[in-house]
Structures are given as structure tokens and as C-alpha cells.
């Protein structure tokens, strides 16, 4: 389906998203240009390294043991990211600065929400390097992700975040997401409560 095939309201929303994306492309944050673009195959190793940095820094605060190290090193690999970048159901957006990638978002289609079967678009990942928090990068990536998901016809987009990640929970609430329940995130034989959030279009 092309832009011309969309209903008038969705065409207007898409035009607004494109305008917002252009503003984000030229936006400046603390003197450094913020440039959003679709991820490329060459980004796979950078995305894997950034994911390990953010995941360990967010969830493993008191020391790294083998259980979590093995998970991170097998989950966040360049090969996995190359496969996602080749998958038409995965859309990855990166934030660039002069030195490299400082954040990215991944939107997955065909992923049914745990508590809302009508929603089939998932914001699977939204990671920003901790040293770049507070610069508007996460908000820009989120807006670009919503712009990508909105014209697909899904009534909403959903995500999960660790129930103890209060920074992320506060951020998503401030951006218009509503909590719809709880699910479990599984690592091996261990499970961890995750909050499920939804943003309705």
C-alpha cells in the first residue's frame, strides 16, 4: 500500500510525520547534530555493542555474573541484528552523532500484544546510551517509531519494560502510553515481571 492509497486522515498524519522526521534530522542538542536514519547492514555490530552496554547498565547494577553475561552475549549479536535488518517485518531507526550511533529503536510488525490481540505492532527496543540521556534522543526515536507504525492500520503500538525500570515507565507515561497489565520476561528458567504499555492511534 502506498501513501496515495491511505485514507485522507492517515495521509495527513504521514505528512506530519515526515515533517517531524525532517525537523529531527536537523535538530541540535547541546551543540551536536541529531540525525535519525534507517539502520543499515553495516550498523549491525554497533547495534549489538550498544545493546549490551545499555542492557547491562540498566538491569545488572551490582555485578555481572555468568548467567546474565551469557544471555547478553548470545542475545545481542551482530548476526541477530543482521537478520533483523534483512527482515521486512522489522524496522530499525538509529540516532547518529559525529562519532557514531548513540541510540536506536526497533519496531516489529506481526507481534500480538500479550493483553490486547488487536495490537500487532511492537516497539521491541528503544535504547539510548546512558551518557546521552536527557538530550531528546529517546523522544525523537519514539516519535519516528510512532510515525512508522501509524500508517500500517494497527490501532495501537505496544511495548514491555521491566517493572523496576521506573525511568522508562515514567518516560512512556509522559509520552502518552497507558499501562494495560503485566507479563513475564523469561531468561532461561527465570522469569521477571514486565509492565505492558500501549499507545493508541
Q: Give the DSSP letter string of 52-93.
A: HHHHHHHH--S---HHHHHHHHHHS-HHHHHHHHH-TTEEEE
pLDDT band at 17; cut points 50, 70, 90: low
Judge contact between 73 and 52, C-beta under 8 A.
Answer: yes
Task: Please state, in angstroms and rounded to a whole number, the distance separating the CA atoms of residues 143 and 28.
Answer: 16
Q: What is the DSSP letter of 135?
A: S
Cα 120–chain centre separation: 15
The helix/strand/coil state of 142 is: helix
The helix/strand/coil state of 126 is: strand
pLDDT band at 30; cut points 50, 70, 90: very low
pLDDT band at 2; cut points 50, 70, 90: very low
pLDDT > 90: percent of the chain: 76
Task: Please state, in angstroms and rounded to a whole number, the distance separating the CA atoms of residues 126 and 79.
Answer: 19
| C-alpha closest to that of 94 among 160, 177, 34 | 34
pLDDT tens for 93-124 read 999 999 999 999 999 999 999 988 999 999 99
Write the CB contacts of 54 (distance below 8 Å, at least 6 apart in sequence). 127, 128, 129, 130
Task: Please state, in angstroms and rounded to a whole number, the distance separating the CA atoms of residues 32 and 29.
Answer: 5
On the question of pLDDT at 18 being above 70, the answer is no
Task: Please state, in angstroms and rounded to a whole number, the distance separating the CA atoms of residues 101 and 94.
Answer: 7
| C-alpha closest to that of 159 among 137, 135, 176 | 176
What is the model's pLDDT at position 6?
45
Judge contact between 152 and 121, C-beta under 8 A.
Answer: yes
On the question of pLDDT at 38 being above 70, the answer is yes
What is the model's pLDDT at position 70?
95
Backbone φ and ψ for 57, nearest 5 degrees, come out as -65, -30
Query: pTM of the prediction?
Result: 0.84
Q: Residue 34, CB half-sphere, CA atoms under 13 Å: how many?
A: 26
Task: Please state, in angstroms and rounded to a whole number, the distance separating the CA atoms of residues 8 and 83.
Answer: 35
Q: Which domains does the chain have, with CATH numbers?
A: 3-39+89-200 (3.40.630.30)
Amino acid at each position: 500500500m502506498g501513501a496515495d492509497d491511505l485514507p485522507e486522515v492517515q495521509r495527513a498524519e504521514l505528512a506530519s510525520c515526515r515533517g517531524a522526521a525532517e525537523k529531527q534530522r536537523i535538530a541540535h542538542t547541546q551543540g551536536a547534530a541529531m540525525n535519525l536514519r534507517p539502520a543499515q547492514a553495516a550498523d549491525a555490530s554497533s547495534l549489538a555493542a550498544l545493546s549490551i552496554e545499555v542492557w547491562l547498565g540498566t538491569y545488572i547494577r551490582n555485578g555481572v555474573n555468568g548467567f546474565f553475561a551469557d544471555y547478553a552475549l548470545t542475545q545481542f549479536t551482530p548476526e541477530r541484528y543482521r537478520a533483523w535488518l534483512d527482515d521486512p517485518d522489522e524496522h530499525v531507526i538509529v540516532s547518529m552523532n559525529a562519532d557514531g550511533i548513540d541510540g536506536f529503536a526497533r519496531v516489529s510488525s506481526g507481534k500480538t500484544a500479550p493483553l490486547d490481540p488487536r495490537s500487532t505492532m511492537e516497539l521491541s527496543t528503544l535504547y539510548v546510551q546512558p551518557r546521552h540521556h536527557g538530550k531528546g534522543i529517546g523522544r525523537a526515536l519514539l516519535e519516528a517509531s510512532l510515525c512508522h507504525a501509524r500508517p500500517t492500520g494497527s490501532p495501537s503500538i505496544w511495548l514491555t519494560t521491566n517493572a523496576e525500570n521506573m525511568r522508562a515507565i515514567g518516560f512512556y507515561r509522559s509520552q502518552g502510553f497507558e499501562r494495560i497489565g503485566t507479563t513475564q520476561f523469561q531468561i532461561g528458567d527465570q522469569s521477571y515481571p514486565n509492565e505492558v504499555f500501549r499507545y493508541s492511534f
